Chain A
Amino acid sequence: MSETITIGVNHITRVEGHGNIKVDVQNGEVKECKLEIVEAPRFFEAMLEGRHYSEAAIITSRICGICSVGHQLASVRATEDAFGIELTKQNHQLKTLLDMGQYFESHVLHVYFLAVPDFVGAPSVFPLVATHKDVVLSALKLKKLGHDIGEMIGGRLVHPISMIPGGFTHMPTVKKLEEILNRIQDAKEELKNGVKLVSSLTLPDFERETEYISMYRDGEYAFIDGNIFSSDRGEISYKDYRKVTNEYLVPHSTAKRAKFSRHSYMVGALARFNNNYKYLSDDAKQAAEDLGLKPKYYNPYMNTVAQLVELIHIVDNSTEIINDMLAKGIKNEKPVIPELKECAGVGAVEVPRGILFHEYTYDKNGFITKANCIIPTAQNLQNIEDDMNDMVPDSIKKRTKEELTLDLEMLVRAYDPCISCSCHLLDVEFVNE
């Protein structure tokens, strides 16, 4: 590779969002690696001011289509936290199932449609229809399952309808639950093939230890309820999320960044895997072993692999929930109507890309006076940039410009960023020359 180069990857494709990678190398020395976020600002926190509690989840859902379930969950949990509404067991189960539906959709999309093409050297999933038809069909089937779980619980998966603060306006039928249960069993077989496929691929060999942050709840692989856990500092109350996120701005990004104990931290599947490994189902642990993934794993490219492991766990977890619901019978619980008062609350949930926080302050009539949303991708941005800065000086000596461009694109994609949340993505630009 030449002594003085500039890589510029503009609008990294296959990531939901608009972002650019900039690498500036002068005389063999890396001057700068940047991840620029060039998405139009959307102003959700400002739009929420003055809106009624019943609208908060409808509005925040539109922050990001692929994370819409997650935003609704965090939003509803924050409102419930503010008004002191406790989750009934069934409400907890329905929310978890809805979250699982989203994990299915999102992880399958990422592993099969966005990441696998890189590993088999295809520009997108479309050419795979000719070369790997079985894989594509399997992926479509799995994605559809996620979609149908979401539809069963929420009415639709992109911007669900029936989850409101205090409960659900619509209950799944026994027939539907049974049908989904059967399909989940089939999905497990499909996923085992996925494990075989992915274990045959070679991922870039790069490691950098960082701080891993996820949710934590004693006894379970936490999704919608629990505290925060840092691999550096242990458990922290979800109410204290601001102590963890410490948001700040950088000039080259419309997305805010976060840091806690170190210069940056990582959230998402790998962070959850590292922090909550012991609570994975036995088959998920087995899949991890087959894929060569052990806690603590420091290779960010393995985030994609951790997602596949989570899919197996989710199959087992949702089977358990549905069996329990079928055994106990579905109660027609009406949503709790909150008693309005001046109050504030925090919602913390694990969504496919990592831990997500919403916080609202309400006036005595149930209208929002202040809102804050902290998105997983924003929390990861600095960590991605730190990975790039760690990787490039060494790679630049060994890899061609083309190879390095792909390494960087794949690195960003491994984090599964949905930049539309934090603001869109990618273009690698090698500045200079």
Chain B
Amino acid sequence: MSKPKVAFFDFTSCEGCQLSILNLETELLELLDIVDIVEFREAMSEKSDTFDIAVIEGSYSRDSDLGRLKEIRETAGVVVALGACAHIGGLNALRNSQQREDLLKKVYPDHPDWYETNEKALPISAAIKVDAVVPGCPVDVKEFVHVVKNLVLGKDPGLPTYPVCVECKLNENICVYELGKTCLGPVVRAGCNAVCTSNGGVCIGCRGLIPNPNLNSQKDIMQKYGLDIQRIIDSVNLFMTENAREVQ
């Protein structure tokens, strides 16, 4: 049996997720044992008309991209959303609180009419059906390989369903709430090995919410530590503009 073909595509993104994949070393060779990479604009000139797995990075923010997205969907057996931009809109969606016209006027004051953009920057699932996601901004490359392997074997992608706090505690970090800071760890999906809190930062929620997050308990934690609820709404807003409404 021939190996499944994987193609990478990008839409509105910083390309940091694709770049992270280029940083794979031994895992990249492992991956190439089970799949063929047939299209990856960031690293190769070759293009392919057929592929089995389409990995899409970036948000959907222009009508003119819809045709290409639909074509990818029709060609691929499996569509994977790569990274926060594709998964939940990511940081791109921060603009969604402002009107399209205002944005264009602010950034291109002399010629707002020259540029095309939709009212909102949205996850890929707003345009086409997505079968699996690799969360994160950027993605965790080990998790990416894990998800692709599972998909090739016809299994569930196998993402953790517990929150970042679990990994954070395993890393023996002092909880930042003890230090008077706010953190989204209790409601955000693990899988990044709590990389932010383990490097002196806080979780800002790039991997999106866990299934059935208890947002009220998050509020309770905030109140227990006397923290400003507005700050947490702001930080949820960074990557999860759409989810932020639930918190409010």
The interface of chain A, by Cβ under 8 A from chain B, is: 11, 13-14, 16-17, 40-43, 45-47, 49, 51-52, 55, 58-59, 62-66, 68, 105, 109, 113-114, 123-126, 140, 143-144, 147, 154-159, 161-162, 168-170, 249, 251, 254, 418, 420, 424
Contacts and interface: CB of A to CB of B under 8 A. Distances in A.
Interface in B1-57: 10-20, 22-23, 25, 37, 41-47
B22 A59 contact: no
Contact of B23 (A147, A161, A249): A147
A211 to B, nearest CB: 24
Contact of B201 (A11, A66, A162, A420): A162
Given A125-B43, A161-B196, A65 B65 contact: no
B15 A123 contact: no
B44 A46 contact: no
A168 to B, nearest CB: 7
Size category of the binding interface on chain B: 35 or more
B110 interface: yes
A418 B41 CA distance: 12
A396 B245 CA distance: 58
B107 A158 contact: no
B137 A159 contact: yes
Given A40-B11, A46-B107, A162 B42 contact: no
Contact of B138 (A43, A45, A59, A159): A159
B120 to A, nearest CB: 11
A128 to B, nearest CB: 11
Interface string B67-95: 00000000000000000000000111011
Contacts of A162: 199-201
Contacts of A55: 234, 238
Contacts of A62: 14, 16, 90-91, 137
Contact of A123 (B46, B199, B200, B201): B46
A59 B195 contact: no
Given A42-B95, A68-B16, A105-B23, 8 more contacts: A16-B15, A40-B11, A47-B94, A144-B23, A156-B199, A157-B23, A249-B108, A420-B15
Given A14-B45, A125-B44, A161-B199, A46 B91 contact: no
Contact of A65 (B15, B116, B196, B199): B15
Contacts of B147: none
Nearest to B28: A140
A109 B20 CA distance: 12
Contacts of B62: 40
Nearest to B199: A155
Contact of B115 (A52, A66, A156, A254): A254
